[in-house]
Chains A and B, each alone.
Chain A
Amino acid sequence: MPGPGTSAVRIVHVYPNLLGTYGDAGNAIVLCARLRLRELPCELIVVEPGQALPREGDVYLLGGGEDAKQTAAVQMMREDGALVAAAGRGAAVVGICAGYQLLGTTFLGVGGIPTEGLGLLDVTTGRLERRAVGNVLARAAAGVVGPEGEPLPDLIGFENHGGATVLGSAARPLGIMEIGVGNGVPSTTGQATEGAVQGSVFGTYLHGPALALNPALADLILSTATGPLGPIDDTLPEALRRHRRLHVLPATERAGRVRSVVKLLRRKDSAPSGASATLSGR
């Protein structure tokens, strides 16, 4: 792996035509820009279906996409083999939404059929009862720390998914939910969690340009290739995070509270239902 001042960090954007629904290109733009702002060289490699994935990438980015495209993408990546090999030697892999699900052991593919994922994350994904759409706030889970052991700041983003993801023992959650749905299935300790991390493989439901809103997470991912990175001017991303906290997230929280009250009222005159999310297809 290249250290600072040696060769360029290679960011691989995997199949944006299949996995690139909601501004996912933003994560590649952000990672490269954060290297260049530190005067470190960056090479962005965009790989479309039909082209071979590079074996020597430092960070592989997988975005969101519809079921059919997700299934097509996972088949191509398995046949290609480079991504799994790269993860095996410690390259960073970042999966968002559909990209997160397909890094797991199983996910629901075309027609809701359980489909085998790449198995880089010990997670399985079923279906949420109700699609999760809205702004998200999660505090970093225990053990999710920056390159020098410092705790990661809160995760802020937007989710839009129908997946309910269960973490196995090898994967750890990325965050603990404050506002939003996240993985949608309580952990063994009863906590609502968001995303997963296992070594240098990251998965999250913070969709689209998640790294634009979470510069510390972006630097944590980059640091797997570069080692600890020095600070840069983050005035604008910090102003955006402040705006989300003060003006956007409170409205989401209020709407969520109204929904839970409605749900409680409904429950009184109907049979109590179980957890808010259940797994289908198993």
Chain B
Amino acid sequence: MFLPGHYPDRVTTAPERTDDRLPAADRLGLRTRIALHAGRLAGGLSRRLGRGSGVVVRGRVVLALDPDALSALASGRRSVVITGTNGKSTTTRLVAAALGGSVATNSTGANMGPGIVSALDDCDARSAVLEADELHVPSVMRATRPEVVVALNLTRDQLDRTHEVSRTSQVWARAFTAQPGVVVVANAADPHVADAASSGRPIWVDPGLRWTEDASVCPRCGAVLDWSQPGAGSGTEALSRWSCRCGFAMPTPDYALTADGVRLPDGAHLAFDLRLPGEVNRGNAIFAIAAAVALGVPAEQAADRVGAVEVVDGRYATLDLDGRQAPLLLAKNPAGWAAALSMIPDDAVMAIGINARIADGTDTSWLWDVPFERLAGRVVGATGDRRDDLAVRLHYAGATPVVEADLVRLAHLLPEGPMVVAANYTAFREMRRYVEGGLNA
């Protein structure tokens, strides 16, 4: 059906060439061009049928017709791959900003082969900043030959999918060993990430937060890790460091988060401001700065660009709940929730939405791994499919839950004060759709 003669001449549709663009003509082989064309048609069809954005369908069709399409599309680019359980999308956005100029990126969060194919087909920028699912790191690295990989963290996610942190760490280690030239910007405070990154050329980052729940035993020898040692230095650098009796211990960070900025590898301090909220995003920001510096961007310039980022894929968007404004936060697992709760000001009124659909994990036990005790003594809204699970958790944490399925009604029921809404994955998606679609009608 898609014969060569039917394929439109790519030169006529290519954007204007500039320095940061790839040469358009003849860059891709005939087979790849046919596959891309078929993919665009399938993606467009899927979108018109109302099956979502069509990004993934499009990439799947391309890869079915040309399994090497991703390497062909990535060839000639300077790529950065970002992976980890938490903060991938935000950090991808921050790295793309830090590099400056035109950047190809899978900003929609479709972070496996098909999504990345679509992103690279849409933009012929020389720089590519790609979010990759943890378990797809080897295949994405093989195809895109990145110069830098950012390895953020490894915590349990979607618990009933038997997702094992140590297994993922081994998958990464093999991928890093297979490409000895790649620079791995890695979280030194996460033992599983540190273990994997030691197989590559690591640049160590200490993002300031500590999440010890998934790192109780040494990834190398299985002994119980010691988290009691304070670090050297002041502020964040005084946070606990981990070590094991086998000799494996937290590497000395090249970049470390400080109270108002980052300590750079040469020991200099660089202060920066961030528009995105929360301590966890200051950590993500220094991963982005480190990645940009590894690609030749001066640290000051990277920090300025990162500081200007405001919104990441609607993640820090503000909901208008019948006149009551509330920023909306996404948290997908206990580590993400601990980070989200740390962003909530003391005077804020919080509403929380919890679902337990397939994409969230159908078991709600993880609610008990979240430190909701931080909300003790406060009135907290509970919504989402599993609002009753959440209400029991909040009750035993010493908070007073207000249980209500309808988010707008909940906003009316909660006490006065600045309101913040946080939700897990599918609840978050529904809230955005609900507020965008139904409210002002």
Contact = CB atoms under 8 A, between A and B. Distances in A.
Contacts of B365: 22-23, 26, 158, 207-209
B20 interface: no
A22 B363 contact: yes
Nearest to A131: B162
A209 B368 contact: yes
Interface residues of B, number: 27
Contacts of B403: 236, 239
Contacts of A242: 388
A130 to B, nearest CB: 13
Contact of A50 (B222, B224, B369, B397): B224
A208 B370 CA distance: 13
Contacts of A160: 159-160, 363
Given A17-B216, A72-B222, A208-B363, A237 B392 contact: yes
Interface string B330-368: 000000000000000000000000000000001111111
Nearest to B387: A243
A55 to B, nearest CB: 22
Contacts of A22: 159, 363, 365-366, 369
A60 to B, nearest CB: 18
B368 A33 contact: no
A48 B225 CA distance: 11
Interface residues of A, number: 33
A243 B388 contact: yes
A240 B363 contact: no
Interface in A192-214: 207-209, 212-213
A239 B388 CA distance: 7
A25 B369 contact: yes
A212 B393 contact: yes
A198 B389 CA distance: 30
Interface string A6-22: 00000000000110001
A29 to B, nearest CB: 5
Interface in B372-430: 388-389, 391-393, 395-398, 401, 403
Contacts of B401: 236
Contacts of B368: 23-26, 29, 208-209, 212
Nearest to A29: B396
Nearest to A240: B388
Nearest to A32: B396
Nearest to B164: A66
Interface string A46-68: 00111000000000000000101
A167 to B, nearest CB: 25
Interface in B217-234: 217, 222, 224
Contacts of B393: 26, 212
A142 interface: no
Contacts of A131: 162
A158 B368 CA distance: 14
B217 A17 contact: yes
B389 A240 contact: yes
A133 interface: yes
Given A26-B365, A208-B365, A212-B368, A18 B216 contact: yes
A236 B224 contact: no
A160 B163 CA distance: 13
A66 to B, nearest CB: 8
Contact of B392 (A17, A208, A212): A212
Nearest to B224: A49
Contacts of A240: 388-389, 391-392
Contacts of B389: 240, 243
Interface string B194-236: 0000000000000000000000110000101000000000000
Nearest to A31: B396
Nearest to B159: A22
A163 B375 CA distance: 37
Given A160-B363, A237-B395, 9 more contacts: A17-B216, A22-B369, A24-B368, A30-B396, A131-B162, A158-B364, A208-B368, A212-B396, A242-B388
Interface of A: 17-18, 22-26, 29-30, 33, 48-50, 66, 68-69, 72, 131, 133-134, 158, 160, 207-209, 212-213, 236-237, 239-240, 242-243
Closest 8 CB pairs of A and B: A208-B365, A26-B368, A23-B368, A17-B216, A23-B365, A240-B388, A22-B365, A243-B388
